[in-house]
Amino acid sequence: MSFINEEMIRERVNEFIDRSKELGIKVTPQRIAIYKELASTDQHPSTETIYKKIKDYYPNISLTTVYRTLETFEKLGLISVVNVLYNAARYDANLTPHNHIVCIECKKVEDIYDESLSTLDVSDKTLGDYHIKGYSILLNGVCKDCRDS
């Protein structure tokens, strides 16, 4: 089930280009291609998954380049990283606040929009050495496909 259409992808890419220019980073066709790959899916792909797709039209690109590019995007706040428990970082072009659920069997990561997960009032609180800016919840479960098989 995907909510992403051509229109949204175009909007995300345009926004990405504008933001990159504001931030003063180079907007190369290769960078746009990597971003677009991520912006075209709500599957929260890993570096490897994006790399495999990009290789179709940039056969000389290396996994390291894709890795570094995604890392740069993340540091600049152009994308976010979903921390899953299975080592490989998974990325997200959707910067609207939302939570995630990961299937413990097939490692699929999906978005969750549920009011009950957004009621913790932690903003502007200080916990330990930290000033809290927000939170996200990562739920674990077994998806329908895995339960059925």
Give the footprint of Zn ion on this chain (CB under 5 A): 92, 94, 103, 105-106, 111, 143, 146
Over the range 80-98, which residues count as b (16 or more CB within 10 Å of their CB) and which as e? bebebeeeebbbbbbeeeb
Both tokens of 132, joined, read: 């809290």
Specify the residue, 28 or 137, whose C-beta has the smaller distance to Zn ion. Answer: 137
Specify the residue, 33 or 109, whose C-beta has the smaller distance to Zn ion. Answer: 109
| φ, ψ for residue 77, nearest 5 deg | 80, 20
Specify the residue, 76 or 103, whose C-beta has the smaller distance to Zn ion. Answer: 103
Query: Least distance to Zn ion from the beta carbon of 122, Å?
Result: 20
Both tokens of 11, joined, read: 């909007």
Specify the residue, 3 or 130, whose C-beta has the smaller distance to Zn ion. Answer: 3
Query: Least distance to Zn ion from the beta carbon of 58, Å?
Result: 25
Query: Least distance to Zn ion from the beta carbon of 109, Å?
Result: 7
Do the Cβ atoms of 27 and 15 come closer than 8 Å? no
SS (H, E, C) 115-140: HHHHCCCCCCCEECCEECCCCCCEEE
Query: Least distance to Zn ion from the beta carbon of 113, Å?
Result: 10
Nearest to 61 by CA among 74, 51, 71: 51
Specify the residue, 137 or 146, whose C-beta has the smaller distance to Zn ion. Answer: 146
Both tokens of 36, joined, read: 């677009």
Query: Least distance to Zn ion from the beta carbon of 145, Å?
Result: 5
